C-alpha cells in the first residue's frame, strides 16, 4: 500500500463507506485519490467489492498497530530560560496540565499503556509517573549528550513505537490504535530553524541552510524496517563524536528522511521551546511566575510582558545567562547555576563590583543582588573573547591584566587557594575522589605551600578567573576595539600572578604555551623563582578546579576533558615546579 491507500484503509476502519465524497472529506484526500485507492485496495485484497475490510486488511492493521511509546525528557531545556532553572521542560503546565501528563493521558486514551520516559535533569521530579504505570529510564549523561544518546538507551524497545519529545502540547490526540506506515510529524508552519520540507510525494527532503522548511514537531511512529534502521544507526552513532546530535539524525538517508511526512496544523500541535512561546500559549501558566523576570521588571522599571526576545546564551561552568530586550535596549541576566550558593559568596562579589565599577575594567552591572547572585548588565554588540592561540590577543590581555594588577585595589576578603582545595573536597560529603592516586597528588600539591608562602608577593585584588573567555573585546560605534574583564565571582585579595596560572590551565596549555604566556606578561623579564612560583600556582589551582569539577559532577554537571586536564596540571606542574625550584636553589 502507498501512503494514500493506507490513509483510506485506516479511515474505513473507523468510518463505514457511504460514498466517495464523504470518504474524501474524512481522509483528507481528493475524490480522485479516493477512487484510485479504492480500486487498488480491492484489487490487492484489502477491501471487498462493497468496500468492507477483509481478513487480510485486519491482519495487517493488527500487525502494524502501536505497541509502545518512548518520551524523551532528559535534557535541561536550555532555551526555556529562566523557567528551566527550577523545572524540567516536560513538567511545564499549560492550562493547569503538565505537558508530560497530557502526553501520557493521550497515549493511554489511544490504548497505548507501555510507556517509557527517558529522564535526566531533575529526574526525581518524574517519580510520580511510576505510579501511573510508566517506566523511567535514567540518562546520566544528559548534561553532555543530546537526545540521540537518550534514545539509544532504549533502542531495544523501538518497534511499532511512538517516539515523542516532552515539550509539545497537542490540542487533539495525535495518537491512535491504528498506524499503517512510519512517519515523522511536521507542522504547516514554515520556519528558518527547520532542516526539511514536505514535497508533493509527502516525503521529507533536506533543504539548504538559508532556506526555511516545515517546523519539525518531533513526534514519530516507527514500524519495521525503519525501526531496524534507527536501532542500527543509534548503535553506530552513540559516541563522543556525535554527543550533540538529535535522534532525528538516524532518519536521514542522503537528502531525505526514510519515513513519510505527517503534516499537522500549527494551531493543533505546539512545540514549546521558549518562555515566550509558553506565554503566548498560556499567559496564566504558573511557570511564568519567574523570580528572574520579576527582578528584571523591577530593576528596569518595565512591565513583565515588555520583556521579550529572551534567548539563552552558552551555559557557563558556574552560571546560566540569557539575553533579553526591555525598555528598547538589550541586556544580559546572569542566574547562578546548580550548587553555586555553596561555591560563591555573593556579598563578596558585590563588594568587588563596588570597588571596580567605573574603572573601565568590567561590564558595570545595572543590577546585582548580593543575596541570590542575580546580575543584569547591558549587552555589548560585536563582542568576541580572547583567542588563546593568538599572540596579538594574548599581548593585549596580559597588558590589561598588568594594568589591573598595578591599580593595587583592595577588598576585605581573600581567595585562599589551599583553603578552597579543602573546601571543595568537603563538598564531596565523605565520598572518595574518582582518581586513585588523589591522596598522593594532594600531598604533593600541599607541599608546595611552604615555598609559596616563603616568597614576598604584591598582595592585591586579583581576578582569579582571568581566563580567555572572560576577556571581552568589543567595539563601540566609531571607536577602536576595547577590552574588559567579566565574571568577577571568585575575585579576592591574592598574589596577582595567580591570574596567569588560571589563564594557562583554563586554556589547557602545555608547558611551552605556559612559558610563552609568562614571558608575555613579564615582557621577557621573569626570573626563575617567579616562574617556579607560577608553576606552583598552576599545580595548586589545577587541583582546586579538579576538586570543583568533582563536586559539580556529583550534581550531574560534567566538563569532559577540562576536568581530567585540571587533575593532570596538578600532577605535571608539581613536577615542573620542583625541578625549577631545585635549579633556582642551585644557582
> How far is residue 330's CA from residue 307's CA, in Å, rounded to a whole number?
10
The CA distance from 393 to 469, in Å, is 12
Where do the structural domains in the chain lie, given as residue ranges?
3-63, 68-271, 290-379, 383-586
Predicted local confidence at residue 317, as pLDDT = 46
Residue whose C-alpha is closest to residue 124's, from 73, 164, 70: 73
Cα–Cα distance measured from residue 517 to residue 520, given in angstroms and rounded to the nearest whole number: 5
In sequence order, what DSSP letters do the residues of 91-150 get, joined into one string? G-EETTEEHHHHHHHHHHHTT---EEEEEBTBGGGGGGGGGGTPEEEE-TTTTTS-HHHH
- DSSP code for 315: P
pLDDT of residue 143: 78
- CATH of region 3-63: 1.10.10
Burial tier of 303 (Cβ tally within 10 Å: 0-12, 13-18, 19+): exposed
Closest CA to 365 of 352, 381, 348: 352
CA atoms of 587 and 585, how far apart (whole Å): 5
At residue 69, the pLDDT reads: 98
Q: DSSP letters of 354-370?
A: HHHTTTTSS---SEE-T
3-state SS assignment for residue 226: helix
pLDDT at 418: 96
C-alpha–C-alpha distance, residues 330 and 527, integer Å: 46
Q: What's the topology of domain 68-271?
A: Spore Coat Polysaccharide Biosynthesis Protein SpsA; Chain A (3.90.550)
Q: Is 265 exposed, middle or buried (0-12, 13-18, 19+ CB in 10 A)?
A: exposed
**Per-residue confidence (pLDDT) for residue 285, from 0 to 100:** 67
Q: Please give the chain's pLDDT, 587 residues, in tens.
A: 888 888 889 889 888 888 888 888 888 888 998 899 999 999 999 999 988 999 999 999 999 999 999 999 998 765 666 665 567 889 988 888 999 999 999 999 999 999 999 999 889 999 999 999 999 999 998 878 899 999 999 999 999 999 999 999 999 999 999 999 999 999 999 998 899 999 988 999 999 877 899 999 999 999 999 999 999 999 999 998 898 899 999 999 999 999 999 999 988 998 887 777 777 777 666 666 677 888 999 999 999 888 888 887 755 545 678 889 998 899 998 887 655 666 788 999 999 999 999 999 998 899 999 988 899 999 888 889 999 999 999 999 999 999 999 999 999 999 999 999 999 999 998 899 999 999 999 999 999 999 999 999 999 999 999 999 999 998 876 678 899 999 898 999 999 999 999 999 999 999 999 999 999 999 999 999 999 999 999 999 999 999 988 888 877 677 778 888 999 999 999 999 999 988 876 65
- Reported pTM: 0.66
What is residue 379's DSSP assignment? P
- In angstroms, the Cα distances linking 552 to 74, 83, 348, 559, 563 are 18, 21, 22, 9, 10
pLDDT of residue 319: 66
Q: What CATH code would you report for 383-586? A: 3.90.1200.10
Contact between 541 and 466 under an 8 Å Cβ cutoff? The reply is no
Cα 34–Cα 35–Cα 38 angle in degrees, nearest 5: 80
433 three-class SS: coil
By C-alpha distance, which of 138, 549, 448, 78 is closest to 274? 78
* CATH for the stretch 290-379: 3.30.200.20
d(CA 452, CA 446) in angstroms, rounded, equals 10
DSSP per-residue string spanning 243-285 = TT--GGGGGEETTEEEEEEEEE-TTTEEE--SHHHHHHH-TT-
pLDDT for residue 116: 98
Amino acid at each position: 500500500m502507498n501512503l494514500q491507500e493506507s490513509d483510506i484503509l485506516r479511515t474505513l476502519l473507523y468510518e463505514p463507506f457511504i460514498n466517495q465524497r464523504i470518504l474524501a472529506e474524512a481522509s483528507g484526500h481528493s475524490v480522485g485519490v479516493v477512487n484510485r485507492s479504492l480500486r487498488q485496495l480491492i484489487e490487492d485484497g484489502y477491501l471487498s467489492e462493497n468496500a468492507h475490510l477483509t481478513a487480510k486488511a485486519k491482519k495487517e492493521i493488527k500487525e502494524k498497530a502501536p505497541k509502545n511509546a518512548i518520551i524523551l525528557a532528559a535534557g535541561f531545556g536550555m532555551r526555556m530560560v529562566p523557567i528551566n532553572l527550577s523545572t524540567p521542560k516536560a513538567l511545564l503546565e499549560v492550562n493547569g496540565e503538565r505537558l508530560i501528563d497530557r502526553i501520557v493521558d493521550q497515549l493511554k486514551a489511544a490504548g497505548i499503556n507501555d510507556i517509557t520516559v527517558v529522564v535526566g535533569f531533575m529526574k526525581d521530579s518524574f517519580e510520580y509517573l511510576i505510579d501511573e504505570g510508566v517506566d523511567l529510564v535514567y540518562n546520566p549523561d544528559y548534561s553532555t549528550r543530546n537526545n540521540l544518546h537518550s534514545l539509544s538507551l532504549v533502542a531495544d524497545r523501538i518497534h511499532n513505537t511512538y517516539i515523542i519529545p516532552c515539550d509539545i502540547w497537542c490540542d487533539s490526540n495525535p495518537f491512535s490504535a491504528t498506524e499503517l506506515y512510519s512517519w515523522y510529524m511536521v507542522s504547516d508552519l514554515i520556519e528558518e530553524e527547520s532542516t526539511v520540507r514536505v514535497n508533493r510525494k509527502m516525503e521529507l527532503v533536506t533543504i539548504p541552510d538559508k532556506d526555511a522548511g516545515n517546523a519539525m514537531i518531533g513526534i514519530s511512529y516507527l514500524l519495521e524496517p525503519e525501526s531496524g534502521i534507527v536501532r542500527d544507526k543509534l548503535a553506530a552513532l552513540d559516541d563522543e563524536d556525535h554527543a550533540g546530535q538529535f535522534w532525528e539524525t538516524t532518519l536521514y538517508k542522503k537528502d531525505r528522511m526514510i519515513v513519510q511526512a505527517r503534516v499537522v496544523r500549527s494551531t493543533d500541535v505546539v512545540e514549546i521551546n521558549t518562555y515566550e512561546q509558553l506565554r503566548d500559549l498560556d499567559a496564566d501558566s504558573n511557570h511564568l511566575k519567574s523570580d528572574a523576570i520579576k527582578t528584571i521588571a523591577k530593576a528596569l522599571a518595565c512591565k513583565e510582558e515588555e520583556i521579550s526576545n529572551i534567548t539563552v546564551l552558552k551555559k557557563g561552568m558556574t552560571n546560566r545567562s540569557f539575553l533579553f530586550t526591555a525598555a528598547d535596549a538589550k541586556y544580559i541576566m546572569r542566574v547562578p547555576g546548580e550548587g553555586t550558593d555553596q561555591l560563591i559568596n555573593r556579598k563578596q562579589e558585590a563588594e568587588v563590583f563596588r570597588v571596580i565599577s567605573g574603572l573601565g575594567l568590567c561590564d558595570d552591572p545595572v543590577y546585582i543582588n548580593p543575596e541570590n547572585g542575580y546580575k543584569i548588565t547591558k549587552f555589548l554588540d560585536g563582542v568576541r573573547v580572547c583567542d588563546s592561540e593568538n599572540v596579538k590577543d594574548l599581548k593585549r590581555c596580559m597588558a590589561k591584566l598588568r594594568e589591573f594588577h598595578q591599580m593595587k585595589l583592595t577588598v576585605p576578603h581573600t581567595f585562599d587557594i589551599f583553603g578552597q582545595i579543602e573546601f571543595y573536597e568537603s563538598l564531596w560529603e565523605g565520598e572518595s575522589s574518582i582518581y586513585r592516586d588523589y591522596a598522593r597528588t594532594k600531598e604533593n600539591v600541599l607541599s608546595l605551600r611552604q615555598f609559596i608562602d616563603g616568597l614576598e608577593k604584591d598582595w592585591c585584588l586579583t581576578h582569579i578567573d582571568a581566563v580567555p573567555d572572560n576577556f571581552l573585546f568589543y567595539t563601540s560605534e566609531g571607536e577602536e576595539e576595547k577590552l574588559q574583564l567579566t565574571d568577577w565571582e571568585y575575585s579576592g585579595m591574592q598574589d596577582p600572578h595567580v591570574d596567569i596560572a588560571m589563564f594557562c590551565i583554563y586554556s589547557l596549555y602545555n608547558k611551552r604555551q605556559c612559558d610563552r604566556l609568562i614571558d608575555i606578561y613579564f615582557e621577557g623579564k621573569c626570573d626563575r623563582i617567579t616562574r617556579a612560583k607560577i608553576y606552583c600556582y598552576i599545580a595548586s589551582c589545577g587541583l582546586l578546579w579538579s576538586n570543583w569539577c568533582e563536586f559539580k559532577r556529583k550534581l550531574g554537571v560534567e566538563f569532559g576533558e577540562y576536568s581530567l586536564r585540571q587533575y593532570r596540571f596538578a600532577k605535571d606542574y608539581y613536577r615542573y615546579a620542583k625541578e625549577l625550584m631545585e635549579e633556582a636553589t642551585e644557582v
